[in-house]
Amino acid sequence: MKTQSENYTICCPEFEPALWDDKILVWDNKLFVKGSVCTFFYLPLNYGGTIRRLTGHIAKGNGTLVDYMMLSDHTSKWSTSIYIAVNKDINGLKIEKFSGKYFCKVFEGSFNKTGKWCKEFEQIAKSKGFKFDKLLIWYTTCPKCAIKQGKNYVAILTEVE
């Protein structure tokens, strides 16, 4: 008998941590579609539905995802802003442009370690002399793909001065 994860088709591309870990990314008007997810004490309630809705609009607008990058900005216990990197402006969707230098660090393990990783990330960034305001979290695979691929990478980024 097959389990649900055995029947599940991988939807998330494999993530290459070496390309992102401990790197400074320089962006000049990098395009992102912006969405919002309801959360309950930071636990997302409609993350999958929001991602499906936004990526559906992106596909209908003949856009493509860039690096399959979907950043989460946990703005409060009740809401998370989602930023999906795209190759072009998509009509009908809110577009944000990111410019600047972003420090990125990759972690591996269960999603429930995100809080611990954020604290570790802040210590690492401060030890490098970076001043920063907020953290952006890139959950590089959905939970089902993480199980199927056998790895769960989470990248944390922040704009640095």
- State whether residue 115 is helix, strand or coil: helix
Nearest residue to 145 (alpha-carbon basis) of 21, 14, 3: 14
Per the prediction, the chain carries an average pLDDT of 91
Q: What are the structural domain ranges in the chain?
A: 22-160
Residue 143's nearest CA partner among 108, 106, 107, 110 is: 110
Q: Is residue 138 pLDDT above 60, yes or no? A: yes
Question: pLDDT > 90: what percent of the chain?
Answer: 75
Rg (CA), the chain: 16
Q: Which CATH superfamily is domain 22-160 in?
A: Regulatory factor, effector binding domain (3.20.80.10)
The 10s digit of each residue's pLDDT in 13-30 is 999 999 999 999 999 999
DSSP 89: -
Q: Which two tokens stand for residue 17?
A: 């941590």
